[in-house]
Amino acid sequence: MESTVAFGHALALITAFCWAQNSIMWGYLGKNIGSNATAHMRMWIAVPLMLVLAYMTEGVFHCQGRTWFFLLASGSLGYFVTDLLMFRAYITIGARQSMAIMTLSPVFSAVLSFFLFHQKLSVLQIIALAVIISSVIVLTINSAKDQKGGGEQKQGLLFAVLGALFQAVSLILSKYALDEIGPISTNAIRSIGGLASLFLFAVFRGKARAEFSAYRHKPKFFLILVAGSLLGPIIGMSCEMKAFTLAPVGTVSALAQTSPLILLFQDKLIFHNKIGLSNAIATLSCIAGITLLFITI
């Protein structure tokens, strides 16, 4: 039993690592190719591989129409709405700040659960929410000071906050299916909803042809797109869905949200960027708040 829980926690940490690297890749590709084309094309790579993985690990999935509806809606919100918002945030305010603001997602999940499912919050959970929100506010203020282009910065911050909100709703919807079908199949159906939404959005905007040709004759960017597609929608999300079945949801969610901490160390040790004491303290406080929030559930 203990080894199973430990494996679930390890998968959650792998998820956090995948999200951290994804944010860097998507920010880079978004600046050079375009965020909409990147979000769209990576799903054409991810979905077939995800369906094959689901079939090989869990067989043909069978679930009720209600479950299909919730998962397709979850995928549309997670892989379409959330990711388009976050891709724009990566470009305007950077990966680390965007992922730090993304830690508001568990806060939104807790608040939504309170109103939708009447789940009461303890005093410690309320304190944890306050710590997370205050930490994000500090990071947001520092981001506005460090970078120029006020209007674009505010827009990027808004995109990140909205992305966190829609991500919370997406994960709440996906939890409805985990008792009925396996985690890999759950992720596969969600990805279909995301791809369908991205494709229809491109068609509606008259950009489908341009997005399909965006990576043509650009092997360097295409290889990064493939790597990001494997790390994020396939490895990252599948690990998170599987972790939910092996370990407590609270600790899995907390560990999966440690991406800002990973990015903090990468910025300092690999990219030699200046972090700033207040940013470091705010990031660590944010992770501590998330951990406190979920271990008290």
Mean pLDDT, 10 residues at a time, the chain of 297 residues: 78 90 91 94 94 88 85 94 93 85 82 73 79 79 62 84 91 76 86 96 95 93 94 87 78 78 76 73 81 70
Q: Which of 177, 146, 126 shows the shortest CA–CA distance to 297?
A: 126
Among positive and negative, which fits the CA dihedral 109, 111, 112, 114?
A: positive
Instruction: Kindly state the tokens that stand for 56.
Output: 């090989």
Cα–Cα distances in angstroms (integers) from residue 274 to residues 114, 148, 153, 277, 280, in the given order: 39, 16, 19, 9, 10
Q: Residues 160, 102: contact at Cβ < 8 Å?
A: yes
Q: Residues 74, 256: contact at Cβ < 8 Å?
A: no
Domain ranges of the chain: 2-118+149-247
Instruction: Kindly state the tokens that stand for 87.
Output: 């891709």
**pLDDT of res. 232:** 87
For the entire predicted model, the pTM comes to 0.85
Instruction: Kindly state the tokens that stand for 285.
Output: 């406080």
**pLDDT of res. 65:** 84
